[in-house]
Structure formats: C-alpha cells, structure tokens
C-alpha cells in the first residue's frame, strides 16, 4: 500500500508539473503578444485574422504582409481561445526563432509565414506527445514527425500543440493531465475528438490551419462539431513519423490530415505537403503530387448518396443536411444516385471492435497500465479483465436486449493467427464488394451524413457506437472530408421529440438526449471518394461549400 501510495503521488506530481508548464505556455504567449503590440501599435490584427488562408498566403508571398504581424495576430487569438476552451497544451516557443529565420531566408515555400497548430500526438522535437497518458510526460520527441518537417520546409510555423482525449480512442476531448476542452460555439458541448483541441482552436479562429489524425472520425467529428472543414486522406497518402503502437495494430487505416475554415485552405495544405520533401523523407508515401487538373475540373459529377446507414438513426438536421445538399447539387447539373449501405452493424462489431481487441485486449490494457484514470472506459476495462466464463454469460444476457452489443466482441477474441488473417481477409472482401457496388453505379464521389450537431460534454463516452458514419471510411480506407452546410432549426428540434432510433434501446435514447437543445449549431455532410483520389474529394467538397 505504501509503494502504491508513493507511486500515485509521483504520478500526481507529474500531472501538476505538466499543468504548470501549460500555464507557463499561456503566460509566454501573453508576454510575446504584449511585447509585439507595444512595438507595433498600429498593426490591425483583426483585418489579418479575417483573411482566408489562400489570400493570407498570397499577401505573405508578395511581401504586402509581414510574417511577424501574422504570427503574433494568431498567437493573440489562440491565447484568447485557449483561455475560453482549454484547447492548447503547449506553446512551441522555438516558433519565434523560426519566425526570425524565415524573415532572413530567401526561399519562400507555399506556406511561408503561416502559423500552424499541431495535434498533441504528432511529434515536435523537444516536446511531449502524451496522447493524454501520464507515462508519456517528460519524454520529449527526439525529432519532428515527417509532416512537421515538411511544414517547416514549406515555410509554415508550427506554434502550438493541442489537446486530445486519453489514448485518442474517443470522440470527446478530455484527459487527466490537461482536462476537458470545450466547444468554442457552445461551452456545454464537446468539441469532438480525438483532434478536439485542433477543432476548438481552428473553429474559434485561433489557428488558420490545424493538423490532426483520424482513426474513426478523429478529424471529422471536431470539424463537424465546431463548424469547420477537414480532410481524412487515404491512409498512406500522408503519414506521421510515429504513432501509438495500439493504432498500428488496428485493422483500420489511420489517416492524418488538415483542418481549416474552408476547403481551399485544405487544398493549399495538401499542395504544400505532397511535394518532393515528403516523398524523400518518407519512402512509404507514394510519390503522387497534388493533381491540380482534377481539383480545378468543372465537369458534372455522378454522385452517390444515402441519408442513413440503418445502424445509427440520423438526427432530423443530419437527414435534412443531406437532402438539401442533394437538391442543390442536382440543381447545379450533377447526377445524384441513391446508394444503399448494408451490414454496417457487422462492420462495427466484427471489423472495428473485435479487430481492435484481437489480441485479447492485451495492447489496449497495456496502453493504460500504470495510469491514474481510465477516462470513460471503466466498463471496457472491467470486461477486458473479466474471465471468459463471465464474458460468455454476459453475452447471452445482453443479446436479447441489444444493450451490451458493442462489448460482446470481448467474448470471442481472435486467439489464433488464422483467425486474425481471416479478419483481414473479410475486410478485403468487404472493401471489394463496396467498390464493386460503387463502380456498378458508375459513381465519381459519395455524399453521406455526418454525426451532428455537437453532443453535450460527456455524451461521446456513452455513445461510442455512434461512430458508424465515420468509421466506415477508415475500414474502407477512402478519403473523406467534412463540410458544414446548415444549422439546427426550431423545426429540427421539434422533430427530434419523435426520435426513437433503430433499436429503441438505451443508446438510442441517450443519443436523442445528446442531440437536444442544439438550435443554431452547425451540421455537416461527409464527402467521400475512392482511395488515392483526395483531389476529387476536395473538388467535391468545394462544390458543396460553394453551393
């Protein structure tokens, strides 16, 4: 007991030190901005913050805007949003040194002088990548991840790291070290996750370009909840240098991608990253430069669409968002074709949940070993550690009620290599069938619902099964983007009163409760393309955004 008490005391000391570092970071930001304003009182920071990224970048390139003015304008705004939402974990003070060097160099990259925010889990040299785990504190990265290296070579200035949920396996944004991050649009709502700090900072205007990861919707949830745009590319189109070992064991693809206020900013980011530097630094990334011809095409598209996946019933505003976007696209001359999804429940339970715990949850439990808090996953841990006979009994009890369905997979872990191979074969078959259905309809892209509006804080932890709309495209490894298209209306709120869900169980009732009181919050749609067609996906997103 004494040893355990000493160990816990040591962990709490590390947490306290990390929080103090976070507070010092905000003080450093405040001092840097104050110093700049004293020296440059005439700089109009509001006009700088109002510029979209393409226009800002152009002004930086032609010299009509100083990188210093832009940098401190965003540091000041980021400080304000961090104070309101608790989205920043660390200020990268070396960014000020990089800023001075950028002014002296003659080489101007595509993102010259652009401040960029980086998700906690992406390595920046000399800084922790905690993933919300106490054990990862005081373990600074030895080098920048590849994407951060390429950002720097393109002239961008990474200036802050942002908050994440513990382990990243959540679409909320809370951990024991840095606490809860709030939605900048409504503080009682979650900003989404796991790139929730990025979503809050970009959504609040404190960063013009953010970068995060996506293993089940971790870019798309924050974008949808905070009313911004995001792109999850095909798994290997961009890759960070390092990632939690737990994610590489998943049978679904991890994507890394940008978040911004508009689609053109995402396209500019992809142009900058898909360059020779990226291909030379990481040989696993295929040398496919950004295809400008596809992105700028104006040819009418043949677009598949669906309003529901028949697993998670869409909220009234989700359904309306798809219908209205479909109508606008048809009016603009595009062809819309109904697409029917099948076996989404099988995909969630067998490919995602069972696949994640294929080793008997050993990797999962190992990730949390020695941590003070298990986030919102207490039930998961209890089941993972339970003896097989108890899991079997629980599965028989749960099946008729559809209550513990997401956890039934704990009963039948893949204990042999043959079973794991069969799982991957099943996923291959599922992808093949989906693409066959896609090509039989001769589709270019797909219009899909996106879970929304933003759920109340604490609800994502109770509603892990609601990731079905996003997780599908991690399993398929298709590029998928999010574009906000409407807001919740009084009529949506009234219609929500009759929401029952497909299974009419505790999860459906809880989801209905989580949607309530959301008038005025943004609602998005997903835009999807076939693998390696990020430019077509962005082109479709741009079309939706414009309409």
8-state DSSP, 431: H
In whole angstroms, how large is the CA radius of gyration of the chain?
Answer: 23
223 touches 475 (CB < 8 A):
no
Position of tokens 């240098």? 241
d(Cα 125, Cα 233) in Å, to the nearest integer? 25
Give 483's strand partners: 525
Consult the annotation and say whether 194 binds a ligand: yes
Consult the annotation and say whether 148 binds a ligand: no
Residues recognised as catalytic: 119, 194, 218
Consult the annotation and say whether 412 binds a ligand: no
Residue 22's CB is within 10 A of a number of other CB atoms, namely: 20
Position of tokens 């074969």? 425
Consult the annotation and say whether 235 binds a ligand: no
The two beta strands, 302-305 and 179-180, are: unpaired
Return phi, psi of residue 353, to 5°. Answer: -70, -50
Give one word for 167, left, alpha or beta, with left for phi > 0 and alpha for psi -120 to 50: left
453: preceding bond cis by omega (within 30 degrees): yes
d(Cα 399, Cα 515) in Å, to the nearest integer? 26
CA 460 to chain centre: 14
d(Cα 103, Cα 92) in Å, to the nearest integer? 18
Consult the annotation and say whether 193 binds a ligand: no
d(Cα 482, Cα 263) in Å, to the nearest integer? 9
Consult the annotation and say whether 10 binds a ligand: no
Return phi, psi of residue 60, to 5°. Answer: -65, -40
- Annotated binding residues for substrate, as ranges? 168, 194, 215-218
- Annotated binding residues, as ranges? 168, 194, 215-218
């Amino acid at each position: 007991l004494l040893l355990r008490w000493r160990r816990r005391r040591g962990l709490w000391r590390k947490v306290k030190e990390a929080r103090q570092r976070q507070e010092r970071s905000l003080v450093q930001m405040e001092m840097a901005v104050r110093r700049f304003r004293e020296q440059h009182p005439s700089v109009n920071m509001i006009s700088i913050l109002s510029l979209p990224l393409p226009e800002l970048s152009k002004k930086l390139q032609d010299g009509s805007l100083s990188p210093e003015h832009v940098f401190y304008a965003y540091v000041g705004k980021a400080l304000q949003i961090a104070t309101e939402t608790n989205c920043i974990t660390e200020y990268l003070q070396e960014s000020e040194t990089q800023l001075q060097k950028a002014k002296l160099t003659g080489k101007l990259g595509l993102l010259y002088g652009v401040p960029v925010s980086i998700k906690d889990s992406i390595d920046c040299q000399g800084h922790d990548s905690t993933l919300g785990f106490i054990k990862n504190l005081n373990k600074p990265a030895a080098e920048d991840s590849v994407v951060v290296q390429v950002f720097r070579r393109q002239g961008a200035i990474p200036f802050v790291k942002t908050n994440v949920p513990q382990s990243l396996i959540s679409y909320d944004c809370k951990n024991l070290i840095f606490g809860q991050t709030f939605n900048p649009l409504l503080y009682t709502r979650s900003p989404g996750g796991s790139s929730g700090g990025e979503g809050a900072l970009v959504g609040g205007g404190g960063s013009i370009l953010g970068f995060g990861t996506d293993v089940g919707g971790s870019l798309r949830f924050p974008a949808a909840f905070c009313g911004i745009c995001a792109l999850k590319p095909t798994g290997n189109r961009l890759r960070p240098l390092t990632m939690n070992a737990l994610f590489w064991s998943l049978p679904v693809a991890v994507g890394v991608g940008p978040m911004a206020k508009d689609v053109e900013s995402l396209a500019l980011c992809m142009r900058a990253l898909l360059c020779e530097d990226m291909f030379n630094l990481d040989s696993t990334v295929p040398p496919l430069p950004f295809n400008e011809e596809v992105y700028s095409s104006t040819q009418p598209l043949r677009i598949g669409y669906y309003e529901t996946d028949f697993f998670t019933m869409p909220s009234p505003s989700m359904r309306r968002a798809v219908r209205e976007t479909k109508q606008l696209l048809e009016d603009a001359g595009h062809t819309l074709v109904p697409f029917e999804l099948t076996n989404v429940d099988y995909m969630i339970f067998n490919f995602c949940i069972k696949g994640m715990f294929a080793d008997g949850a050993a990797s999962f439990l190992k990730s949390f070993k020695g941590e003070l808090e298990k986030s919102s996953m207490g039930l998961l841990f209890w089941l993972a550690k339970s003896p097989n006979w108890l899991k079997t009994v629980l599965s028989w009890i749960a099946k008729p009620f559809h209550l513990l369905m997401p956890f039934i997979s704990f009963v039948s872990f893949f204990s042999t290599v043959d079973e794991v191979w069969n799982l991957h074969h099943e996923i291959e078959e599922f992808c093949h069938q989906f693409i066959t259905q896609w090509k039989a309809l001769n589709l270019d892209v797909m219009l899909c619902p996106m879970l929304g509006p933003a759920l109340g804080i604490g609800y994502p932890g109770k509603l892990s099964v609601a990731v079905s709309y996003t997780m599908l495209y991690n399993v398929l490894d298709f590029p998928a983007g999010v574009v906000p298209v409407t807001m919740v209306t009084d009529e949506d709120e009234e219609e929500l009163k009759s929401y029952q869900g497909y299974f009419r169980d505790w999860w459906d009732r809880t989801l209905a409760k989580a949607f309530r009181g959301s008038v005025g919050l943004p609602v998005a749609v997903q835009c999807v393309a076939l693998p390696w067609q990020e430019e077509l996906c962005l082109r479709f997103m741009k079309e939706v955004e414009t309409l």
